[in-house]
Chains A and B, each alone.
Chain A
Amino acid sequence: MKQHDNFADQCCWNGILPMLMEDCGSVWHDTSMTPQPLLVSVVDDDESVRESLPDLLREFGFACEVFSSAEAFLASDAINETRCLILDVVMPGMGGPELRRQLKFRRLEIPTIFITAQRDTTVRSRMLEQGAVECLFKPFSDTSLLTALNSAFQAE
């Protein structure tokens, strides 16, 4: 495989690889298990985000489920299957950090990537301090998302 200068590109290349297969093959990460795409759940009250992310994630080779609220996510079955959480910080009702707390109470430690429209570096540092994998500012590039995703899965 071609050596790439940066990890992101490498991941990108790796991400494309599954596409070359007929089916959405398994993500390179876990070859020992049955080829099932990893579930990434997206929780964001913003419709634009909810519409656009799934296709991108699928392009990356992940499975994706979207929820318009933290409550909806908590109420769903996906909480047990989700391998990574892409989470908006500010939402009406329960917000992102609160959802993480709730998951902690349920002994669910899901790697979380925060996405937020507030370009506030203090928010980012706070999220990172609290253990988030990454906190991306909207709009974010696909590569930065991919980087974050890889970080999330690398941590496992």
Chain B
Amino acid sequence: MPAEKEAGADQVKRLQRCINDLVSLLALPASWSGLEPPQIVESLLDGLMRLLALDLAYAYWSAPIDSIPVEILRVARAELSFADSDGICRTIRQCVGDTPDSLADFLPQSIADQEFRLVPVRLGLHGELGLIVAGSQRPDFPSQTEKLILSVAANQAAIGLHEARLLSEQRRVAVDLDERVAERTREIQRSNIKLRKEIAERRRAEHELRRSEAKHRVVVETASDAVVSMNEAGVIILANAATKRIFGYEPEELIGRPLTLLMPESLRGLHENGYKRYVASGQKRVSWQGTEFMALRASGEEFAVEVSFGEMTADDQKIFTGFIRDISEKKLADAALAKARAELANIARITSLAELTASIAHEVNQPLSGIVTNASTCLRMLSGDPPNIDGARETARRTIRDGNRASDVITRLRTLFSRKEINFEIVDLKEAAREVVALSLSELQRNEIIVRQEFADALPPVKGDRIQLQQVILNLLRNASDAMTGVHDRPRLLSVGLAREDDQVSLRVRDTGAGFDPKVAEKLFESFYTTKHDGMGIGLSVSRSIVEAHGGRLWGAVNDGPGSTFGFSIPCAPSSGEERTVSAHSSERPEAIPKYNRRRPSNG
């Protein structure tokens, strides 16, 4: 039949067209990639309008991200486009309302005085995306295929919109991220710059500090003095290399040790007290600039140092620094210098070597002369006929004595001109005087001198050099004896007296000789050349020097009667309760320098 065939052919054509349309629809999303939702919806509406030959197509959807829902209206005929599109949209919306699209095929609606058939299709799985409304004035609208196309279109739209939304979200997120990254990057850059500046600053400061520290370190490390710093607790926190040389400790060994390690044990308490006092009251008992202390080496040796202190505060902590100089060598040098000076003074006592030699020769030649003469005489006597044996014997005896005299001269010279360090010992002047008198007695008696000793009973001892004091006594005895050689009209009386006078012991030698002119008394004490018996007896000037070196005095006076009295007094030795140390070279008294001036009596 041709009508059935036509109907079948039409159906086939319709189906073909439908499939074509569907294929077109299915191809649409590909063209939507990258488009914004509005563009997608527009594209869809345009596609629908074309495909279904719609009179109008309306879309309403709310993009959750955008706050304002979007409406798009497409109309086929021109006259509709002049009408109020907003009103049409409203009308359509009102018409559709909440109607689920599955129930109604179409919704009749009059728009701009024309009848339309509206077919709403919801977008989204649950219609949450929006809504598409296809409108046609055809009475057969919508056909089955058209409904199919609409729903597929709606699906595609949903997919497209979804994807677009996702994409747009992604984009938004990406933009956001970019934004954030950029911001963060900017921040980082900013802080980077700041950091760099800070680092540069810090580096500069560090560099400065290091340079300054290096400078100071050089000073401290190369200082020949030891530099030691301690904290408030008295613990060493810094020590320089010189501590090795001076104290015998490596600097590292000292860190953490107490400062008192470097002090002799006996002085540690003193230091602690002084430090405590300073911390409490700010009072300094010693000068902080160059004070002498005793220090202690690692070996245990105590030695002298000179110390200067400094105090500083760092981080609220007090730090004390000491600059320590080892002056033990300097002290040795000073002592050696003092000794050299003393020796020089010693030598200065001898006016000149030539004179000394002359004096020695002079004094020794006297007994030598005696020896030669006596021996010559002896030979002559023995050659006599008969030989004068007795005479020869006498000369021989005198020879021996002169020999001894010569020897004594030398000995005395050596004693006198040796280092005049007074060897202080406790001396009993009574015993010493008795000894001297006993030694001189035979000679004195040969000179027909009567010797009397008047020694007080209880005599305190004196502190002095026994030998030197005996030399003085001998000198006085001999002077007294000599003074009486010309005395014939009265007894030659020599009295030696010892007595205590307050805190001194005095010895007097009194003679009955010729006396002396008080006006020339001082000259007596200048005489070096005194003569006579032992050749090199010590003169009054030396005697006075010796006595004065003992802290006493020597004097002479003319007697009331004939003769003169010479004497000296020496301070008593202090009692054991008040023992004081006496050094050989007492610093309180300048060492008496005997004047060994050779005074030659004028002889043209």
Which residue numbers of A lie inside 8 Å of B, CB to CB?
A: 16, 19-20, 45-49, 51-53, 55-56, 59, 68-69, 71-72, 75, 89-98, 101, 115, 117-120, 126, 130, 137-142, 145
Contacts and interface: CB of A to CB of B under 8 A. Distances in A.
Nearest to A98: B603
10 contacts: A55-B395, A71-B486, A72-B485, A75-B486, A90-B603, A92-B529, A95-B600, A98-B602, A117-B366, A139-B365
A55 B380 CA distance: 10
A93 B483 CA distance: 12
A46 B363 CA distance: 10
Contacts of B533: 47
A48 B376 contact: no
Given A47-B532, A47-B533, A56 B601 contact: no
B590 interface: no
A46 B601 contact: no
B494 interface: no
B366 A51 contact: no
B513 to A, nearest CB: 12
A55 B369 contact: no
Interface string B347-370: 000000000001001110111111
B316 to A, nearest CB: 86
B604 interface: yes
Contact of B602 (A16, A19, A89, A95): A95
Contacts of B380: 16, 19, 56, 59, 142
Contacts of B372: 139-142
Interface of B: 358, 361-363, 365-374, 376-377, 380-381, 383-385, 391, 394-395, 398, 402, 405, 485-486, 527, 529-533, 535, 600-604
Contact of B601 (A48, A59, A68, A90): A90
Contact of A48 (B366, B394, B527): B366
A138 B602 CA distance: 21
B402 A101 contact: no
A139 B381 contact: no
Contacts of B383: 16
Nearest to B362: A117
Given A48-B369, A52-B373, A140-B372, 19 more contacts: A19-B380, A20-B385, A45-B532, A48-B405, A52-B370, A52-B374, A52-B398, A52-B402, A53-B373, A55-B391, A56-B373, A90-B600, A97-B604, A98-B601, A117-B365, A139-B365, A139-B371, A139-B373, A142-B373
A55 B394 CA distance: 10
Contact of B485 (A20, A68, A91, A97): A68
Q: Is the interface of B mostly helix, strand, loop or mixed?
A: helix
B529 A142 contact: no
B486 A138 contact: no
Contact of B373 (A49, A69, A71, A94): A49
Contact of A51 (B398, B486, B532, B535): B398
B112 to A, nearest CB: 172
B601 A93 contact: yes
Contacts of A75: 486
A141 B366 contact: no
Contacts of A46: 366, 369-370, 531-532, 535
Given A138-B368, A139-B368, A139-B371, A48 B402 contact: yes
Contact of A139 (B369, B384, B394): B369
Nearest to B385: A20
Contacts of B370: 46, 48-49, 51-52, 139
B440 to A, nearest CB: 13
Contacts of B371: 48, 52, 139
Contact of B603 (A47, A95, A117, A139): A95
B366 A56 contact: no
A90 B373 contact: no
A130 B527 CA distance: 27
Contact of B369 (A52, A72, A90, A130): A52
B601 A91 contact: yes
A94 B601 CA distance: 7
Nearest to B394: A55
Contacts of B361: 117-119
B376 A142 contact: yes
A93 B532 CA distance: 13
